[in-house]
A and B are shown apart, each in its own frame.
Chain A
Amino acid sequence: MKPSFDEMQADATTVREHYRGYEEWLARQPRDVMTSRREEAEVIFRRVGITFAVYGAKDEDGSGTERLIPFDLIPRVIPAHEWAEMEKGLAQRVTALNRFIHDVYHDQEIIRAGLVPAEQIFENAQFRPEMMGVDVPGGVYSHISGIDIVRAANPDGSGSYYVLEDNLRVPSGVSYMLENRKMMMRLFPELFSQHRVEPVAHYPDLLLETLRAVAPASVNDPTVVVLTPGMYNSAYFEHAFLAQQMGVELVEGQDLFVKDNFVYMRTTQGPKRVDVIYRRVDDDFLDPLAFRPDSTLGCAGLLGVYRAGNVTLSNAIGTGIADDKSIYPYVPKMVEFYLGEKPILNNVPTYLCREPGDLKYVLDHLGELVVKEVHGAGGYGMLVGPAATKAEIADFRKALEANPAGYIAQPTLSLSTCPTFVDSGIAPRHIDLRPFVLSGKKVQMVPGGLTRVALKEGSLVVNSSQGGGTKDTWVLEA
């Protein structure tokens, strides 16, 4: 039997220490009460408008589909000592990643040291030559990093955390972390009086502090804005939410313009200078003069202002070079190279299909591996070997053989499960965790992160676009 790890149950009869209080409470709750709480949550989420848009899907009247991300009532609980260790590991990893990005766009010592092959950088679509030699405030590139972590079962039944993926471009989901907590406190206030759960509601404060800390050095009282692609973007709710929580303007590309090497926004009282742009728009769309000329989401001339140091972009342009799946295998080496420390967080062992030896192994073991497109996101463009049909594997083999460098492969991890309230009752479902790490003057984060859950039985895909849901994440106080 494959090893498995459940966050709550150590075995069929034993509940893990940190879940005991919750489990006793849960056992006392009648099922219909839980069902009505879930309905209540759904009504509130819809009324508040916490929805995401599904690309390509249309309602019958032709407007875009807005869906709720299913919210599960049973929290994922992390004991204090595990979080303490994870927090250290996250700070270490993100610090190293930022050092790496700085290095790539400056002296490239890591290439010269032979640790990362030069072509992995220069032939990478995420490498931005425009950033060569550009100095960003504090040398920090990825101010907001979403690090995806899973726990996998070891053969002896214990579990280990692994970093599955770094998200250093425009990681999303933090608004769900905050709203899920609000919802839980509203639905089950008694649980929070019985448990000492670390609060997360100060995230927007930390975010604003971080963004202000990385403003151009000459600015005393920086004007921060959030740049959104607009209300039809799938994460629009989050953009609006964060802008509101921070008390800053939510702007679209059309609200910005460049004049005399500064960026301004159009206001009812005339132009106002902008110093820090928390942009939720991809690099490619930021400046039609520098990147995609057909983009209407950005601001013409922005790159020039940025390179002159007159505006800060969060995250910086070109961070994608460090969260690319083909760079991922090198992160543990970066930690050692830049920080002289042993990595605290583990990587998942990864096969680089660009290497002939690895490719052969992957082709021979397609049925056991998870194969991912190097540039894919959102759970698209991946093959989960054990769950795939013969035809799917055959199709994927063709794609892989045609472009080996476009793929990496990893062993199928047996992701940990967490009890989840589904139609058939309470059943284990696979989960992951995305903590959000903020890097400004210092590296900080709120305890926990967003727990995503694959609601389909046996499924390992937690992405909201593919039937995933979310849970509140509790870090218990020590």
Chain B
Amino acid sequence: MLSRTADHLFWMSRYMERAENTARMLDVNYQTSLLPQSADAAEKGWKGLLSISELSGDFATRFGQVSARSVMDYMVADAANPSSIRSCLMAARENARAVRGKLTTEVWETQNQTWLEFQRMVATNDFHKDPSALFEWVKFRSHLSRGVTVGTMLQDEAFHFIRIGSFLERADNTARLLDVKFHAVESEFFGPGNGGGRARDIEFDFYHWSAILRSVSGFEVYRKAYRNVIRPEKVAELLILRQDMPRSLAACIHEVVGNLRRVANEQSGETLRKAGRLMADLEYGRIDEILATGLHAYLTQFLERVATLGVGISRDFLVPVEA
């Protein structure tokens, strides 16, 4: 397969996954903002969302004050924001268009229709009336896009590069989400002098952690897996180490490694080694160790390793990223 083709396929699925994760984060922030909370806490939530995507600076320069409406506009429909849902869906579709011949008709038409419908929805409806409906729709289109890929495509190289793109992006997004959400409250839970146990916190905790879980469709999964009250270290364990949780870091890296093995070529040995090592760290890691080193440090390092993998994959198979 042409390197450029593999590159388009990889980025097609990355952008689709990114659109989904952005919708998930916006949705959970929006849902949380409907709960009774201080204006300060609400603003903190939206700021956190911007920092997950490393967009705080750009947003501040262009819009200044953070508000629910302005952040949603910026993250949903802003053409100048490369991480907005709009930009991601357009990029996914443009990448698909460039290699439509390598996709099944169903995959291409799904990507194309997602983009066409999104434009229509944003142009004709005021999505602020019911933002959750739009976010649900984006998630649904992403599910559909993955499903139609698995359900119709030959399991050849094209398929493997699409899968690598999805899971590498998801690993990145889940790690960022964890980092921001835990960071916001880290001092209270994992830092020195934790376990304050004020009455307010019990309620706050429940909503904070359940919001994270919901954003990765993990609330019911948590209940099923742990049959227990929601505790932050268990949330972290579920989203980092549990291989049976489809959005966990371990599950994502496991998929990346499996698909990388299938496309291995003469020069990809080192990239595969790094990916395998990352997988082993997750497979044999323990949450108490991770928390002891510090979650933020751990996730920062994880994101760096994922970025290195991305560069390695580009260099070995795709169109090398310009230095």
Task: Give A residues with C-beta under 8 Å from B.
Answer: 46-49, 61, 63, 230-231, 240-241, 243-244, 249-252, 254-255, 265-270
Q: How far is the CA of A185 from the CA of B113 in the complex (A)?
A: 23
The interface residues of chain A lying within 8 Å CB-to-CB of B97 are 49, 231
CB–CB B4/A266 < 8 A:
yes
0 or 1 for each of B98-125: is its CB under 8 Å from A? (1 = yes): 1111100100110011001000000000
The reply to whether the CB of B150 lies closer than 8 angstroms to some CB of chain A is no
The interface residues of chain A lying within 8 Å CB-to-CB of B161 are 268
The interface residues of chain B lying within 8 Å CB-to-CB of A244 are 100-102
CB–CB A270/B100 < 8 A:
no
The reply to whether the CB of B266 lies closer than 8 angstroms to some CB of chain A is yes
CB–CB B116/A46 < 8 A:
yes
Secondary structure class of chain B's binding surface, majority of residues: helix
Distance between B139 CB and nearest chain A CB, rounded to angstroms: 21
CB–CB A49/B2 < 8 A:
no
0 or 1 for each of B168-190: is its CB under 8 Å from A? (1 = yes): 00000000000000000000000
The interface residues of chain A lying within 8 Å CB-to-CB of B2 are 249, 251, 255, 265-268
CB–CB B101/A267 < 8 A:
no
Q: How far is the CA of A266 from the CA of B157 in the complex (A)?
A: 15
In the complex, the number of residue pairs spanning A and B with C-beta atoms less than 8 Å apart equals: 60
From B79, B98, B263, A231 is in contact (CB under 8 Å) with B98
The interface residues of chain A lying within 8 Å CB-to-CB of B67 are none
CB–CB B265/A231 < 8 A:
no
The reply to whether the CB of B292 lies closer than 8 angstroms to some CB of chain A is no
From A240, A241, A252, A268, B265 is in contact (CB under 8 Å) with A268
0 or 1 for each of B307-323: is its CB under 8 Å from A? (1 = yes): 00000000001100000
The reply to whether the CB of B237 lies closer than 8 angstroms to some CB of chain A is no
Distance between A277 CB and nearest chain B CB, rounded to angstroms: 14
The interface residues of chain A lying within 8 Å CB-to-CB of B113 are 47
The interface residues of chain A lying within 8 Å CB-to-CB of B112 are 47-49
Given A268-B6, A270-B265, A47 contacting B109 (CB threshold 8 A): yes
Q: How far is the CA of A48 from the CA of B96 in the complex (A)?
A: 12
20 contacts between A and B (CB under 8 A): A47-B109, A48-B105, A230-B98, A231-B97, A231-B98, A244-B102, A249-B1, A249-B2, A250-B99, A250-B101, A254-B4, A265-B2, A266-B4, A267-B2, A268-B3, A268-B6, A268-B157, A268-B161, A268-B263, A268-B317
| Residues of chain B in range 1-43 having any CB-CB distance to chain A below 8 Å | 1-6
Distance between A239 CB and nearest chain B CB, rounded to angstroms: 9
The interface residues of chain B lying within 8 Å CB-to-CB of A48 are 105, 109, 112
CB–CB A267/B3 < 8 A:
yes
The reply to whether the CB of B94 lies closer than 8 angstroms to some CB of chain A is yes
